[in-house]
Amino acid sequence: MANEQLSNSTIFPLGQKVEANFIGDAYLQMIYTDATPLNAPIGNVTFAPGARNNWHFHKIGQVLLVTGGEGWYQEEGKPAQFLQSGEVVNIPANVKHWHGATKDSWFVHLAISPGETEWLEPVDGELYNQL
């Protein structure tokens, strides 16, 4: 597997395994949760190869800062975008999307997520396997 060293995450702790709204092994370590001054929680998310979250949207939007590995980001109705370390994804409010690791690489990103998240259906395995 590519980027196997990321199985311990990057500069932040691996965190706890996330079960709800994810397929495969994914881990979350919240690194910022203060309501002031920004009220924009930041989570370090580590995806094992093949792991991904369900389709969802954020009522205010979200920013992803890719810190390691290789992954995918896809907005509904658009082709999936390949992501790697150093890339930034600016997700507008109420845009249905998903993100996760490639089939053969670990993937780590920081997710800046103000406001509420609305979780939806899992990403179709056939769609994912075609990437």
Each residue of 68-123: pLDDT tens digit?
Answer: 999 999 999 999 999 999 999 999 999 999 999 999 999 999 999 999 999 999 99
Each residue of 12-60: pLDDT tens digit?
Answer: 999 999 999 999 999 999 999 998 898 999 999 999 999 999 999 999 9
pLDDT of the residue at 69: 96
* 66 three-class SS: strand
Closest C-alpha among 102, 103, 60 to residue 85: 102
Q: Taking all residues of the chain, what is their mean pLDDT, rounded to a whole number? A: 94
pLDDT at 10 exceeding the cut of 90:
no
pLDDT at 6 exceeding the cut of 90:
no
pLDDT of the residue at 49: 97
**130 CB-near residues (< 8 Å, 6+ apart):** none
